[in-house]
Chains A and B, each alone.
Chain A
């Protein structure tokens, strides 16, 4: 498996971490992802917009006082994330098997 099998949208570490959180939760709030990734609001918005444009996450917004923004992974996103993890594992396995 080559590096070409890696998904360029997910490959960025912040987006990889966000996808891993979302693949293992039914939904995650904006604040939770921001705190977990240790990024600013604007940076998280940028990263999540990239994932949303790729069709990997969907956004839910509750407006009004105490309103929240939360994210869910889509089926396409879950499949892409699994493929990306499989590609990473294959690269690691190939590297390990080439060691003397």
Chain B
């Protein structure tokens, strides 16, 4: 479904990886592993189209993502390091606006349910802790079940055990429904055993 062909990535004169090729089938779980600075985030950003690879291309259902543009964006969810939440809005408002901008239809009850699923309090995001922010960002996943490709950068960072296992369940359900997930992590998670690993090294 998703196919990376001969990816090279060079950031500020340093080669992060060279000639990286792999495919992600429907229902597949792929973990990008490697030490800090090995290019995990860069690879995820290349896969979602935010970053152009120095060489090679990413294809979605056989078509280069450069050519698909928004058509491809609508098929994926990317959760990056930054939570993409507005400090002055509540998690509910953030989630509502985030879904609308991504072109997802999310009724009121579904939004409230997603937030309570991750136990996010109804306070302005400014007042939330790091872990609560992360959970508010992850709540988006519960509304994106029909979006086939999830690209998650450190989804378990700052989460407590309960929230981490809830996230794993959500990911597990998505895989069972035929979705694909590509993620990076430093924390060992129960998911890791079923994931295909792409190992990046520091050059």
Asked if A and B are interacting partners, one says no
Interface residues, chain A, with chain B CB atoms under 8 Å away: none
